[in-house]
Amino acid sequence: MSIPKLDGLEVLTRFHGMNVPYKILVLTAQAPALFAIRCMQSGAAGFVCKQEALSELISAVRAVFSGYNYFPSQALIPSRENEGQLEELELFKTINDRELMVLQLFAQGRSNKEIATGMFLSNKTVSTYKKRLMQKLQANSLVELIEMAKRNALV
């Protein structure tokens, strides 16, 4: 998902838009709660988190090869155990893929300038993304944004 200069979700969307007969299975270290649905919406046929057992990857490959989709049920149907986390996940649904990538880079300790250079954006655009993220995720500071990103396994 964290491909330099062009995020993986954009790559998925572009492949999907080409109408090629390929099926894409995403294997990533990213949090399923935040990325599985986005990958599905971008055209992926499956999603497996690297923290899962190897048998999970094998099952996913077999399912996708057989023409089925394969996504983690806990990402698609979140449990009601932690209401605070569910509220945060709802807030994350309001941000777009690009904003999510910018948030992830902030959480990794990158500066506005580094993010701008790496994503081929202007500093002003990155500042606009930061402002939108703070509004949409109801954060009062960059520190709060980064803490939220860490709680939701973006780092």
Instruction: Walk me through the domains of the chain, giving residue ranges and CATH numbers.
Output: 8-76 (3.40.50.2300), 83-151 (1.10.10.10)
Lowest-pLDDT range, 10-14, 58-62, 131-135? 10-14
User: What is this structure's pTM?
Assistant: 0.63
Share of the chain above pLDDT 70, in %: 89
User: Over the stretch 61-112, which tens digit does the pLDDT of each residue have?
Assistant: 999 999 999 998 766 665 555 555 667 878 888 888 889 889 989 998 999 9
DSSP codes joined into one string, 55-116 = HHHHHHHHHHHTT--B--HHHHS--SS-HHHHHHHHHHTTS-HHHHHHHHHHHTT--HHHHH
| Residue 141: predicted pLDDT | 92
| Residue 64: predicted pLDDT | 92
